[in-house]
Chain A
Amino acid sequence: MTGARAVTCPSCGGSIEIRAVGYTVTLACRYCGSLLDVANEDVRLITAYRRAAKNFAIMPGARGTLFDVEWEVIGALRRRSGDAVWQEFLLFNPYSGYRWLVAADGEWQFGTMLLDRPEEDGRSVSWRGQHYVLDDNAEIETVMVIGEFYWRAARGDKVQGATFANGREQLSRETSADEVTWTQLIPITAEWVSEAFTVEQRHMPRPPRPDLTEGFRKAPGVAEGDLGNMFLVALAALLLILAVQVLLSGPQVCADGRATVDVGGATTIHRIGTVEVRRPWQFVTITVDSDSFTNRWVDLDYSLVNRQTQQSVDAYGLVEFYTGTDSDGPWSEGSHQAETLFSRVPRGTYDVFVDVGAHGWPSDPVPGTVDPQNPWGHTDTVALWFRSCTGGFSWGMFWLMAALLFSVPGLIFWWRHQD
């Protein structure tokens, strides 16, 4: 009794050998690619195609020895998940059954279908005392078939494929409408495969183009569970950044000062304290509080003047507060407080000066007129209290970091929910 059975393709008339006679139910003609039902004696055409796929790394019919067993490649599949495309080869030996050879990203794996089932526990499984963690979970589509198969293989077949990893060993779970199959995949060197079979290197699936955003977006399989963790990690990092910024900006030493300025008058210069920067570089923060004026603004030009070098570091502050009434009712705008941050102030002792100019809105008050807001006021003045401190907290930096941290999970979230 011969091992192979010859059939004639009803589509192209070509003569094809069935190798796993008795097991094979579907055959993709090597000449025209047509899908044939060979489960029974009569050969039926399932789907006619015009051309068979040729560009597989190993073509069906090749024989080779792996793990001391001679295998014949009897079928080949090209499969796709997202942008990843790879090839799977069905190996057959009548005494040893079926095995898989998987070529992806230039690497090879040898697969054995499991007769027992791993115990599933959420995102990990255990099998024969080993623990495997979920690595990938995505839909897999078969885009091309050639050769013979013991199931109803066809182009366009879709299964949900999950991969669980323990080191370089993997368990793959494929779930279709009909059944769940588990396969153990172990790495095998390209040299071994090349020694066993003739491998057409130019038809090997190419490693996907490195595309970080794609990997982050799709990351087949991790898609489901890690987004929440990413937000948590981002939040933890932001809290750490907050603590680091506060701790590394000290020590904080403060000096108080005050000034009173006429509204509408010329700018006046006041010395409002002395600060000493003891570190090579430090922030200096000046906060100002004013009395409760309305419809005034106060321009504040600060200068930190180094006592030794007389060099100055300048920064700017503004206090403004306005009220009014419009069709929506009364409104107010501004604040009686302002904070000014100096960055990169070198070591040294600094006198703090401020050049203050106060003005009225919409125009400066005319001297001698009675201000209805302050009818008994002698002159229209604004009182200011200053506090100059070494150290400081850059809210701008903080929010920049927050944006950089949360943009990654935020973008993934947006990508995932836009369709």
Chain B
Amino acid sequence: MSKRMTLFTAWCALLVVLSAVSSWFAWTPFSDEERPSSSSSGYYRGPTHK
């Protein structure tokens, strides 16, 4: 196996481990807690269709 293939496989393994850890601790940068709530004024509601 070439050097860069080895490096890439290690990178893939790192990402798998990271996803396992984040899944176990129920962590994600994309949860719905921090989105603007209905109380925030001036937030547009309605179709974005043009």
Contact = CB atoms under 8 A, between A and B. Distances in A.
A touching B, CB within 8 angstroms: yes
Interface in A377-418: 392, 394-398, 400-401, 404-405, 408-409
B30 A397 contact: yes
What size tier do the contact residues of chain B reach?
35 or more
A49 interface: no
Given A226-B5, A233-B12, A342 B32 contact: yes
B20 A248 contact: yes
B47 to A, nearest CB: 4
Contact of B25 (A344, A359, A400): A344
Nearest to A134: B2
Nearest to A404: B15
Given A315-B31, A341-B31, A237 B16 contact: yes
B30 A233 contact: no
B29 to A, nearest CB: 7
Nearest to B18: A401
Interface in B20-49: 20, 22-33, 35-39, 45-49
Given A215-B4, A237-B13, A396 B30 contact: yes
Given A299-B37, A322-B47, A396-B30, A248 B7 contact: no
B26 A244 contact: no
Contacts of B30: 341, 394-397, 400
Contacts of A326: 49
Most buried by B among A282, A315, A322, A394: A394
DSSP majority for the B interface? loop
Contacts of B7: 216
A320 B38 CA distance: 13
A219 B15 contact: no
Contacts of B28: 283, 341, 343, 394, 396-397
Contacts of B9: 233
Question: Closest 9 CB pairs between A and B?
Answer: A396-B30, A299-B38, A343-B31, A394-B28, A237-B12, A222-B2, A322-B47, A248-B23, A281-B26
Given A342-B31, A342-B32, 11 more contacts: A230-B8, A240-B16, A281-B27, A283-B28, A299-B45, A315-B32, A315-B33, A333-B47, A340-B32, A401-B18, A405-B12
Interface of B: 2-5, 7-9, 11-13, 15-16, 18-20, 22-33, 35-39, 45-49
